[in-house]
Structure formats: structure tokens, C-alpha cells
């Protein structure tokens, strides 16, 4: 199969990978290497990172102090995934099945908020939710929305909902509608057809959506920073603080590296599931 | 078997070889993380004349200097001002460290001390600045620049408690007003490790800058006891007060002026300097060692020091500048609540944020993380 026979043509195919490979090396592998290198370093008098061998940066990561921060981040991210699924699946379902000629336009609307920076959109929520903000202006009696865990989760759902809708939509759009008709022909109710036909067929899309929402949500710091209160400190905030407050890039890098390894577990789980699905 | 180039198997080694050179190049370039250029003493101690020597590359907090003055300077001297902004001292340092060249920066006093000791600041000869004679005498020997030959003070700030006089009845005058029961759930501490631990030190009667482990532990306990009553940690005291989310805010004096400019009833927004101690700070003009146009930078400093220009600037940014003459403009702005002002007496009796040293800073940073994560 390979070796001599595929030699020349293999080289040609390899060349087509260079632009993408270059991109990944320059903007992913190299910065990642820097993060890992800095994570073993220390700092100078002016807070600058210096390379070196200080593995104790890593032992600090496992301080029990950070366990509640990690648990909180995972909890918020899981709640975000569930809410995104509950909100996103019906939207994707409607667009895929009943969007008709307007399908493309509706999908464009889902993506439209991305034209505005996430930070700015989150600031808009501050104005909407604050005590003398838009919603409380209607309610009269002020309700405290802002600076609560709910506001943080809400901000995450708002920020990452499209990452759920798009893969689920793709899965639903690929699905042959005849399958649903077949389910109904076999005396399936609307619900049992959904449970036994539509859901399993689109499950890989749902899983992809869950991973795409969970990964950025667990590392997010903007939502907790702007919408959160004193008790909503997330891993992202902890890492951000090491870089912008504590002048401790090495410790921030060690936290980042450990966090990436932790998230890699979820990624590997997802990739194996997707690979299994592709084989069947 | 197949000749189709799209289907031929990829060979790992080919890809790796192609990428190896590139990766090496990037890896070497990456060594630039800490490559601070070491300037020699002769280079930083030479006398620079206040003569325009090119466009001004200006690096400051945003909205911290009247833009009309920048326009006027450009017009008067026929140069461009190329402005960029930082949003924290650490952000400013990161840009300096990665080799960016600025002509004028605005470090806080603590950072002046650190930059000066690392020989990163150019000498400023006061003889070149005729307008500098209005600067308070106090700044002839500031702790961060004992010879006053590397900086010119730009603005002063005091930290205290900003509060809604119409919502909160009586304030006790203490830092413990942070837990005033009327403001339960509407109080914010500054999201700033120095301010919170500094305030905690003052509450327990320690020195503002104490790095004694026992003192810092007590400061942490104070912050953790306040935390459950808080609505959050934030440095956006202006927005939190204007939006009505905060009734009590650990904040900076000049921001009260900015708040009052944005609300319908400015008289409802007051400032308390706390009885246990008033943390004070100074922001300065400074010229980095690698500045390309230090002459223009000096010309600009002298231009802002002009009493009329300084007065205009005070009205715009809302912080007091320590210059005799323009200080009356600030006093006029806050005449109904003189607590907002920072006077020479405050400078002499108050406590200033100082350089904690590497060890002390580490202790404070670790404690701050414990406060935030706890």
C-alpha cells in the first residue's frame, strides 16, 4: 500500500497539508510549547517570565484551595451544556425540518451575534440585568439578577448556544426524513419516534455540541468577571489573575497546562465515540 | 497501488521534516519572553533636552488625559501623537518587556520604584521643564524617586469608600462600613490585591504595606469576613455606582467626580476617607530607557504642566494633580465634599503604597488568591 508505490503522490498530498500544517505549528504548537516552557520557569524583579526548572509550579496547582474553584467551573459548564441542549435542540430541529426556503437565513441569524465581540455582548447583559437596568425597569420592584451564579450561567449559555445549535442542525439536516415517516408508519407516536429514531440518529451531533459548549465554558472568565459575584470565581478567572494581576506567568501557565490535560480526557472520550460511530 | 495523489498515504516522516525547521525557528524566536534590553547607566543618565525630536509615542490608561490637549499639542508643535492604552500596570510591563518602544508612560509610584531600580527609566532633568516649578515641594524627594530625577508626578489618588448618601444613613468613618447592613448585597470591594490587603492591614492597625505574615493573615480574615456581604469584587466603581448596583464601593476619590458627572443627583454620591488610614498613590510621567523621542516627551510633559492646560486636564479626568494653582481647580470641583480632595497634608499623614519586594509581593499574591478562591 505505501512505501515505494505511493511515494511520489504521497509527497504531493503531503504538500497540500503544508499551509494548514504551517498554521497549526505557528499558532497552536509553538504557543503551546511556550506555555509549557514558561510553566517550568520563574519570574524576575519586574514580573517577567524567565525560563528555568521550577517544577514546584505544578505542585502548587494541586493545592486543595483550588478544588472548589475547579468543581464550580465544571458545575457551571455542565449546567450550561444542559441548558444549551434544551434550548438549542428545538431551534435546530425547527430550522432543519421546517425551515424550508428560509433555512440558510435562519442559520445565518444563529451566527449573527458572532459579528459582535463576546466581551461587548456580555457588557450588554450588564446593562440589561442591573438593578436599574432594562428588565428591572419593567418589573418595578428590583430583582437582583446581576452578580449571581445564575447570571454567570446565563452569560455562558448566551455565549455558547450557537456551538450547540450548529452541529445538532447539521446532524438533523443530514438525517433522511423518510426515517421519521417510517417510524410513524410503524405506529410510533410523535414521542416514541423521536426517542427511538430521531434522537439516536442525531446523537453524534448532540455529543459534538456538548463538547463544543463544555470546553470553552469551563475555561471562560468573561462571564464570571462581568456578571458574577464574590462567590463565582472560576478556573478561567484564576488563570487570568496569574497573568494580569499576580505577575506569575509561570504558575498561570502551569494551571493552563494541567487544565488542558484535564479537558483532553473529555476530548479523547468524544473522539473515540465519534470514531466508533464512523465505523458502524 | 493507487496513483491518485489525494488518496496516497501520508508519511509521517515527510511531514515532520517539513515542520521541524519551522518549529525550531519559532522555538528560538520564543526565547524573547524575557529579553529585556539592558540599558547602560550612561545611556539612561544622559541629559535630554526638551526639544521636539519626532512624533510622540504615548502609552497611558484610557481616558486619563484630556484628548483636546493632545490635539492642541500636535498643532502647536507640528508632530503626531501616536496613542495606545494599557488597562493594568502588568499589561504596561508586558508591552515594555516585549521590546515595544514608547516615549512616555504613566507608571504608578510602586512601578516607578521597580523600573528605576532596574535602570529602565531615562533621566528627567527638571531644568528642562520650566513649568515644573508649580509641582508640590513634597515631590522633591518622593520615596519612589528620591532625587526626583526620573519622574514628574501626574496625578494623586486616595482610596476610601464611595457611598450613596441618600440610601445609607450614618457612616461610622471606619473601613468596617464596608459591611454596613443597609448595603448588604450592594457592596463591592476593589478587584485589586494591593487595595484589599492594604485596607485589611489598616483595619487591624498594621502598616499599609506590611508584609508580616501575621498581619497579612489578619488582613485576609478581614476580607473573608466582608466577602459574604459583598455583591462582588470590581474595579469598575464608576459603572457600579452609576447603575445603582452598588450603594457602597471601595473606590478611588477621582472616580467620585466621574460618577457625579454621569448622574442626575450628584449630591447623593459621597466619599469617605477611613479613620484607620488612607492609602495614597501617585501616578507619574516617566520616559522608558529605550524611548526614541525623549525630547518630544519632555516637551509634552512641560506642555501638560502649564497651569492652564493642567486645569483643563483636571476637569476632564477628575483626579487632583499636585501642582500649586491647578489644584484650586480640583478643590473647586469638589467644594461641597472636600473629602474627595487629596491635599499636601494627606500626603504627609497618609500612607502610600510602596514596593513590597519580590517576597512580600508573592505573599500578598498568594493571600489574594486565597481571598478570591476561598
Beta partners for A49?
A43
pLDDT exceeds cutoff 60 at B7: no
- Are A14 and B369 a contacting pair at CB < 8 A? no
Mean pLDDT throughout B109-132?
Answer: 95
Beta partners for B159?
B252
Judging contacts by C-beta atoms under 8 Å, the chain A residues touching residue B193 are 245-246
ipTM, two decimals, is 0.82
CA distances to B93, B189, B307, B310, B320 from B142, in Å? 22, 28, 22, 21, 17
B306-341 pLDDT, tens digit per residue, is 999 999 999 999 999 999 999 999 999 999 999 999
H helices within chain A, ranges in order? Answer: 7-16, 18-24, 30-39, 56-61, 67-98, 103-111, 118-129, 134-139, 149-174, 177-185, 190-193, 199-219, 222-227, 235-244, 249-279
Q: Which of A22, A48, A241 sits opposite B369 (nearest CB)?
A: A241
Percentage of chain A modeled with pLDDT above 90: 72
pLDDT exceeds cutoff 60 at B26: no
pLDDT exceeds cutoff 90 at B171: yes
B261-302 pLDDT, tens digit per residue, is 999 999 999 999 999 999 999 999 999 999 999 999 999 999
Closest to B114 (Cα-Cα) out of B364, B353, B302:
B353
Give the span between the Cα atoms of A237 and A252, in whole angstroms.
10
Count, residues in chain A? 280
Predicted local distance difference test score (pLDDT) of residue B348: 83
Predicted local distance difference test score (pLDDT) of residue B19: 46
- Are B19 and A25 a contacting pair at CB < 8 A? yes
Mean pLDDT throughout A113-138?
Answer: 90
Interface check for A68 against chain B (CB to CB < 8 A): the answer is: yes
Q: By three-state DSSP, how is residue B40 classified? A: coil
Predicted local distance difference test score (pLDDT) of residue A131: 86
What value does the mean pLDDT of chain B take?
A: 89
CA dihedral B136, B140, B143, B145 (to 10 degrees): 120
Mean pLDDT throughout B233-244?
Answer: 91
Task: For residue B34, name the pLDDT band (cuts at 50, 70, 90).
Answer: very low
Task: For residue B224, name the pLDDT band (cuts at 50, 70, 90).
Answer: very high
Mean pLDDT throughout A83-110?
Answer: 95
Judging contacts by C-beta atoms under 8 Å, the chain B residues touching residue A126 are 239, 243
pLDDT exceeds cutoff 80 at B153: yes
Give the span between the Cα atoms of B149 and A81, in whole angstroms.
58
Interface check for A5 against chain B (CB to CB < 8 A): the answer is: yes
Q: Which helix (H) or strand (E) holds B217?
A: helix B213-226
Q: Which residue has the higher pLDDT, A84 or A114?
A: A84
CA distances to A2, A8, A9, A279, B209 from A5, in Å? 6, 8, 9, 27, 74
Predicted local distance difference test score (pLDDT) of residue B35: 46
Selected residues 34-53 of chain A with any CB under 8 Å from a CB in chain B: 34, 37-38, 44-51
Long-range CB contacts (< 8 A, 24+ apart) of A7-12? Answer: A9/B2, A9/B3, A9/B4, A9/B5, A9/B8, A10/B5, A10/B8, A10/B9, A10/B10, A10/B11, A10/B14, A11/B14, A12/B5, A12/B8
B283-300 burial, b at 16+ Cβ within 10 Å, e below that, comes to bbbbbbbbbbbbbbbbbb
- Are A25 and B26 a contacting pair at CB < 8 A? yes
Give the span between the Cα atoms of A167 and A208, in whole angstroms.
6
Question: Is there a contact between B77 and B296 (Cβ–Cβ < 8 Å)?
Answer: yes
Predicted local distance difference test score (pLDDT) of residue A8: 62
pLDDT exceeds cutoff 50 at B3: no
Interface check for B25 against chain A (CB to CB < 8 A): the answer is: no
Beta partners for B285?
B152
Interface check for B115 against chain A (CB to CB < 8 A): the answer is: yes
CA angle A197, A203, A209 (to 5 degrees): 145
Cβ burial of B306 (10 Å; 0-12, 13-18, 19+) is middle
Percentage of chain B modeled with pLDDT above 70: 90
pLDDT exceeds cutoff 80 at B17: no
Predicted local distance difference test score (pLDDT) of residue B40: 80
Half-sphere exposure of B21 (CA within 13 A, CB side): 4
Judging contacts by C-beta atoms under 8 Å, the chain B residues touching residue A147 are 231-232, 245
Closest to B354 (Cα-Cα) out of B146, B170, B114:
B114
Q: CA-nearest residue of chain A to B359? A: A45
DSSP string, B283-295: EEEB-BTT-S-HH
B43-70 pLDDT, tens digit per residue, is 888 889 999 999 999 999 999 999 999 9
Q: Which of B22, B90, B245 sits opposite A245 (nearest CB)?
A: B90
Percentage of chain A modeled with pLDDT above 70: 97
pLDDT exceeds cutoff 50 at B9: no
Give the span between the Cα atoms of A59 and A71, in whole angstroms.
19
Give the span between the Cα atoms of B287 and B48, in whole angstroms.
11
Task: For residue B38, name the pLDDT band (cuts at 50, 70, 90).
Answer: low
**DSSP tag of A12:** H
Task: For residue B37, name the pLDDT band (cuts at 50, 70, 90).
Answer: low
Q: Give A105→chain B minimum CA distance, Å.
A: 34
pLDDT exceeds cutoff 90 at A277: no
A127-146 pLDDT, tens digit per residue, is 899 888 889 888 888 889 99
Give the span between the Cα atoms of A205 and A88, in whole angstroms.
12
Cβ burial of B244 (10 Å; 0-12, 13-18, 19+) is middle
Selected residues 228-247 of chain B with any CB under 8 Å from a CB in chain A: 228, 230-233, 239, 243-245
Q: Give B81→chain A minimum CA distance, Å.
A: 27
Predicted local distance difference test score (pLDDT) of residue B21: 43
Mean pLDDT throughout A9-29?
Answer: 87
pLDDT exceeds cutoff 80 at B25: no
Closest to A177 (Cα-Cα) out of A87, A92, A279, A98:
A98
Amino acid at each position: 500500500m505505501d512505501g515505494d508505490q505511493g511515494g511520489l503522490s504521497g509527497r504531493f498530498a503531503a504538500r497540500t497539508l503544508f499551509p494548514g500544517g504551517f498554521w497549526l505549528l505557528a499558532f497552536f504548537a509553538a504557543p503551546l510549547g511556550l506555555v509549557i516552557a514558561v510553566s517550568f520557569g520563574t519570574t524576575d524583579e519586574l514580573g517577567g517570565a524567565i525560563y528555568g526548572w521550577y517544577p514546584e509550579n505544578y505542585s502548587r496547582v494541586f493545592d486543595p484551595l483550588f478544588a472548589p474553584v475547579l468543581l464550580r467551573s465544571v458545575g457551571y459548564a455542565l449546567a450550561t451544556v444542559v441548558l444549551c441542549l434544551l434550548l438549542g435542540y428545538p431551534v435546530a430541529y425547527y430550522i432543519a425540518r421546517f425551515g424550508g426556503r428560509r433555512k440558510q437565513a435562519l442559520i445565518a441569524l444563529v451566527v449573527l451575534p458572532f459579528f459582535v465581540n463576546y466581551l461587548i455582548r456580555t457588557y450588554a447583559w450588564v446593562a440589561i440585568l442591573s438593578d436599574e437596568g432594562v428588565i428591572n425597569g419593567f418589573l418595578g420592584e428590583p430583582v437582583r439578577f446581576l452578580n449571581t451564579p445564575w447570571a454567570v450561567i446565563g452569560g455562558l449559555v448566551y455565549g455558547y448556544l450557537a456551538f450547540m445549535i450548529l452541529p445538532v442542525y447539521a446532524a438533523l439536516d443530514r438525517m433522511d426524513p423518510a426515517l421519521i415517516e417510517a417510524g410513524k408508519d410503524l405506529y410510533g407516536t410523535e414521542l416514541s419516534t423521536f426517542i427511538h429514531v430521531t434522537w439516536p440518529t442525531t446523537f453524534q451531533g448532540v455529543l459534538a455540541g456538548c463538547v463544543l459548549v463544555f470546553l470553552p465554558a469551563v475555561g471562560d472568565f468573561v462571564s464570571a468577571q462581568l456578571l458574577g459575584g464574590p462567590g463565582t470565581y472560576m478556573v478561567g478567572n484564576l488563570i487570568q489573575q496569574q497573568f494580569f494581576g499576580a505577575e506569575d506567568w509561570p504558575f498561570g501557565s502551569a494551571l493552563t497546562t494541567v487544565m488542558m490535560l484535564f479537558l483532553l480526557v473529555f476530548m479523547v472520550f468524544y473522539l473515540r465515540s465519534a470514531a466508533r460511530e464512523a465505523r458502524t | 497501488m493507487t496513483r491518485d495523489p489525494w488518496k496516497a498515504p501520508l508519511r509521517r516522516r515527510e511531514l515532520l521534516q517539513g515542520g521541524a525547521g519551522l518549529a525550531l525557528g519559532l522555538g528560538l524566536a520564543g526565547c524573547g519572553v524575557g529579553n529585556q534590553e539592558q540599558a547602560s547607566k550612561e545611556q539612561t543618565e544622559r541629559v535630554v533636552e526638551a526639544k521636539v525630536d519626532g512624533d510622540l509615542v504615548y502609552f497611558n490608561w484610557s481616558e486619563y488625559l484630556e484628548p483636546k490637549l493632545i490635539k492642541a499639542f500636535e498643532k502647536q508643535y507640528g508632530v503626531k501623537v501616536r496613542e495606545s492604552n494599557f488597562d493594568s500596570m502588568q499589561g504596561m510591563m508586558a508591552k515594555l518587556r516585549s521590546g515595544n518602544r514608547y516615549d512616555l508612560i504613566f507608571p504608578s509610584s510602586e512601578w516607578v520604584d521597580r523600573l528605576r531600580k532596574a535602570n529602565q527609566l531615562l533621566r528627567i532633568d527638571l531644568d528642562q521643564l520650566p513649568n515644573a516649578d508649580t509641582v508640590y515641594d513634597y515631590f522633591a524627594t518622593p520615596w519612589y524617586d528620591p532625587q526626583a530625577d526620573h519622574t514628574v508626578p501626574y496625578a494623586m489618588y486616595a482610596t476610601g469608600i464611595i457611598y450613596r448618601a441618600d440610601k445609607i444613613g450614618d457612616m461610622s468613618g471606619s473601613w468596617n462600613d464596608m459591611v454596613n447592613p443597609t448595603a448588604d448585597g450592594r457592596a463591592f470591594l476593589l478587584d485589586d490585591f494591593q487595595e484589599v490587603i492594604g485596607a485589611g492591614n489598616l483595619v487591624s492597625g498594621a502598616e499599609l504595606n506590611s508584609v508580616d505574615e501575621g498581619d497579612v493573615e489578619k488582613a485576609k480574615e478581614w476580607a473573608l469576613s466582608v466577602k459574604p456581604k459583598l455583591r462582588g469584587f470590581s474595579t469598575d466603581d464608576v459603572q457600579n455606582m452609576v447603575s445603582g448596583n452598588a450603594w457602597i464601593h471601595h473606590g478611588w476619590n477621582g472616580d467620585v467626580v466621574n460618577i457625579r458627572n454621569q448622574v442626575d443627583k450628584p449630591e447623593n454620591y459621597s466619599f469617605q476617607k477611613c479613620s484607620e488610614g488612607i492609602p495614597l498613590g501617585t501616578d507619574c510621567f516617566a520616559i522608558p530607557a529605550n524611548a526614541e523621542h525623549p525630547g518630544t516627551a519632555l516637551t509634552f510633559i512641560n506642555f501638560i504642566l502649564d497651569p492652564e492646560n493642567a486645569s483643563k486636564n483636571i476637569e476632564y479626568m477628575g483626579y487632583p494633580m499636585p501642582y500649586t494653582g491647578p489644584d484650586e481647580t480640583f478643590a473647586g470641583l469638589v467644594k461641597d465634599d472636600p473629602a474627595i480632595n487629596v491635599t499636601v497634608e494627606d500626603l504627609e499623614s497618609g500612607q502610600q503604597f510602596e514596593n513590597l519586594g519580590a517576597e512580600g509581593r508573592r505573599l500578598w499574591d498568594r493571600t489574594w488568591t486565597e481571598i478570591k478562591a476561598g
